[in-house]
Amino acid sequence: MSEVVVAHHDDHHDHGPDKGLARWLFTTNHKDIGTLYLWFSFTMFLIGGVMALIIRTELFQPGLQFIDPAFFNQMTTNHGLIMVFGAIMPAFVGLANWLVPMMVGAPDMALPRMNNLSFWILPFAFAMLISTLFMEGGGPNFGWTFYAPLSTTYAPDTVTYFIFGVHLMGASSIMGSINIIATILNMRAPGMTLMKMPLFVWTWLITAYLLLAVMPVLAGAVTMMLFDIHFGTSFFNAAGGGDPVMFQHIFWFFGHPEVYIMILPAFGIVSQIIPTFARKPLFGYDSMVYATASIAFLSFIVWAHHMFTVGMPLAGQLFFMYSTMLIAVPTGVKVFNWTATMWRGSMTFETPMLFAIAFVILFTIGGFSGLMLAITPVDYQYHDTYFVVAHFHYVLVPGALFSIIAAVYYWLPKWCGRMYDESLGKLHFWLSFIGVNVTFFPQHFSGLAGMPRRIPDYALQFADFNMVSSIGAFIFGFSQVFFLYVLIKTIRSGEPATDRVWEGAHGLEWTLPSPAPYHSFTTPPNVTDAEAHS
């Protein structure tokens, strides 16, 4: 192995991983912790996926056939919670763990012990959440948005487990974010100035600040719920002088930045992958950074677009409508830059690039349906219909999730030193691409026609759209099991990967051998113009 591994002056930790289970329990290595996060999120993704398929099975035909409505509500709620907090967010944190130190030329994360803690509380948080499904009274059934008083006065008794689960998830995210910010601000190799950082690092830096700003507000919201439920306060209880609408304001003050927490790192990933396979530098690097920062800022002043129908003064409706539409401007800048990067590039279409291009196209569709929803008067019709479901699944599945899958295909050879099988990767892509569109595109139509969300039964005229949607969901679901097979096959028996892996790849991580050594950059690398944005 290369000389970077053998750093003899550095004698207060081991040079290789421990053996067995202890390695994973006590590890403070950013690569190990990244791996833990990624496998954890994949597990949660499969569990959340099973819940989605239970929902789609019930909705395959009109009428109630498989599960009772109370259980249906628990499935929609837990599917949402698990996918948001258990699959998407930890996957991005896992990618940050693996990649941020290697990209900025640091030996590890800034706070390795805290890193271990922030991962290991997650399994407890989710064990607590999921175990409620098997308890008397059932698990959370009030929607992932847990509006009071559904989640307080009318909640099942297990809501207290849910509240503590959310507290733990929040603590984990906060610790992870502090770690990421400290790493990026303090541990960059000499010469890696802020405006030379890879975009994945930039977007994560901004995301980490968003997390620090809103996770505490979420913690506050669930704490108020806890007090209302157990200590007789009336934050959200109208009878005692509280206001349930205030819950929605507090929730969405967290919730809207939260949706950007789930998409900004995706923007970063796509901004790394497209230049590699277009063999051109990213178009408009500076404008990408500024666009990300403006999206982050704007995300704090648009929250009430989720609440147009609860009643608001006209001035408020106009403000939230226009500020929401304003977000489309920096988002448009990004889509423009990705397209311009591909323009006249010598493009090749390996699996990561296919997922990245699909991201650009399908995320844009989600952005457009978002714009439609932002128009206050029409939102009165679309609100709480399947149109909203279609919107957020387009931005989250072929958006956030596709970017994560693209990232795994792109960096996996660096992580494990083996190349995935290109034709299996492409097959996975096409199955996912078809599956996702067959599932979610018809939901635009059933939503526009008035089908309400979160209801286990529907009127007959929606039957065809729903049947198509359910078929798509099964195609999509099983192609992710296929993804698992592709991953295991790569890790076990893939062809050895080269150090550079991709002909057009630039960045410090590609200067390391494949697989990346357990300890990398114990001496700061030389940041050349070829490996950093200049």
Partner 1 sequence: MSRNIGSTGGHGRTVGKLCLMVCGMFAFGFALVPLYDMFCEVTGLGGRTGDQYAYDPASMQKDSSRLVKVNFVTNTNDGMAWEFWAESGGVRVHPGEVKEVKFYVRNPTKQRMVGQAIPSVVPGRAAQYFHKTECFCFNNQVLEPGETLEMPMRFIVDPDLPKNVPTVSLSYALFDITEMAAGNMKSRAEG
The β-bridge partners of 452 are 385
> Smaller CB distance to partner 1: residue 153 or 339?
153
Q: Which two tokens stand for residue 523?
A: 């001496």
- Give, as ranges, the residues between 285 and 324 that touch Cu ion (CB under 5 A): none
CB atoms within 10 A of CB 195: 12
Could you give phi then psi for residue 65, rounded to 5 degrees? -120, -35
The β-bridge partners of 418 are 496
Q: Which two tokens stand for residue 269?
A: 């990933």
Q: Which of 56, 167, 188, 256 is catalytic?
A: 256
Nearest to 35, CA basis, from 99, 89, 85, 124: 99
For position 312 contacting partner 1 by CB under 8 A, the verdict is: yes
Q: Which stretch binds ligand HEM (CB under 6 A): 51-59, 204-212, 341-349, 363-371?
A: 363-371
Q: Is 260 a catalytic residue?
A: yes
* Residue 373 binding target from partner 1, Cu ion, ligand HEM, none, CB below 5 to 8 Å by type: ligand HEM
CB 164 within 8 A of CB 128: yes
Q: Is 154 a catalytic residue?
A: no
For position 110 contacting partner 1 by CB under 8 A, the verdict is: yes
For position 141 contacting ligand HEM by CB under 6 A, the verdict is: no
Q: Is 334 a catalytic residue?
A: yes
Widest Cα–Cα separation across the chain: 73
41: Cβ–Cβ under 8 A, 6 or more apart, which residues?
A: 86, 87, 88, 89, 90, 91, 94
Q: Which of 39, 144, 147, 209 is catalytic?
A: 144
Q: Which of 56, 167, 280, 334 is catalytic?
A: 334
Look up residue 419 and give its amino acid.
M
For position 523 contacting partner 1 by CB under 8 A, the verdict is: yes
Query: Number of residues in contact with partner 1, rule: CB under 8 A?
Result: 59
For position 8 contacting partner 1 by CB under 8 A, the verdict is: no
For position 219 contacting partner 1 by CB under 8 A, the verdict is: yes
The β-bridge partners of 496 are 418
Query: Number of residues in contact with Cu ion, rule: CB under 5 A?
Result: 1
The residue from 367, 456, 472, 507 that contacts ligand HEM (CB under 6 A) is 367
Question: What residue ranges in 60-139 does DSSP mark as E strands?
Answer: none
Could you give phi then psi for residue 419, rounded to 5 degrees? -90, 140
The residue from 107, 156, 370, 525 that contacts ligand HEM (CB under 6 A) is 370
Whether the CA torsion 369, 375, 377, 379 is positive or negative: it is positive
Question: Alpha carbon of 504 to those of 273, 277, 479: distances in Å?
Answer: 10, 6, 29
Helix, strand or coil, per DSSP, at residue 181? helix
The residue from 46, 50, 133, 217 that contacts partner 1 (CB under 8 A) is 217
Helix crossing, 314-342 with 264-278: angle to 10°? Answer: 20
* Residue 245 binding target from ligand HEM, Cu ion, partner 1, none, CB below 5 to 8 Å by type: partner 1
For position 388 contacting ligand HEM by CB under 6 A, the verdict is: yes
d(CA 12, CA 10): 6
Question: Alpha carbon of 237 to those of 91, 223, 227: distances in Å?
Answer: 36, 14, 11
Q: Is 426 a catalytic residue?
A: no
For position 391 contacting Cu ion by CB under 5 A, the verdict is: no
DSSP 495: E
The β-bridge partners of 495 are 419
Least gap, CB of 259 to Cu ion (angstroms): 5
Q: Is 331 a catalytic residue?
A: yes
371: Cβ–Cβ under 8 A, 6 or more apart, which residues?
A: 325, 328
CB 337 within 8 A of CB 284: yes
> Smaller CB distance to partner 1: residue 133 or 212?
212
Least gap, CB of 367 to Cu ion (angstroms): 12
Least gap, CB of 1 to ligand HEM (angstroms): 40
Query: Number of residues in contact with ligand HEM, rule: CB under 6 A?
Result: 25
Per residue in 260-299, is it b (16+ CB within 10 Å) or e — as a string?
bbbbbbbbbbbbbbbbbbbebebbbbeebbebbbbbbebb
Q: Is 305 a catalytic residue?
A: yes
d(CA 285, CA 295): 15
For position 213 contacting ligand HEM by CB under 6 A, the verdict is: no
Q: Is 432 a catalytic residue?
A: no
For position 533 contacting Cu ion by CB under 5 A, the verdict is: no
CB 148 within 8 A of CB 236: yes
CB 451 within 8 A of CB 459: yes
Q: Which two tokens stand for residue 470?
A: 């359910």
Rg of the chain, C-alpha, whole Å: 23
For position 328 contacting ligand HEM by CB under 6 A, the verdict is: yes
- Give, as ranges, the residues between 232 and 291 that touch Cu ion (CB under 5 A): 256
Q: Is 453 a catalytic residue?
A: yes
* Residue 331 binding target from ligand HEM, Cu ion, partner 1, none, CB below 5 to 8 Å by type: ligand HEM
Q: Is 303 a catalytic residue?
A: no
Q: Is 499 a catalytic residue?
A: no
For position 243 contacting partner 1 by CB under 8 A, the verdict is: yes
Q: Which stretch binds ligand HEM (CB under 6 A): 98-106, 391-399, 425-433, 493-501?
A: 391-399
Binding site for partner 1 (CB under 8 A): 9-10, 12-13, 28, 106-108, 110-113, 153-154, 174, 177-178, 181-182, 185-187, 190, 212-221, 224, 228-232, 234-235, 237-241, 243, 245-246, 249-250, 253, 311-313, 316, 522-524
Active site residues: 79, 108, 144, 172-173, 256, 258, 260, 271, 305-306, 331, 334, 453
- Residues in touch with ligand HEM (CB under 6 A): 145, 259, 262-263, 305-306, 324, 327-328, 331, 367, 370-371, 373-374, 379, 382-383, 388, 391-392, 395-396, 399-400
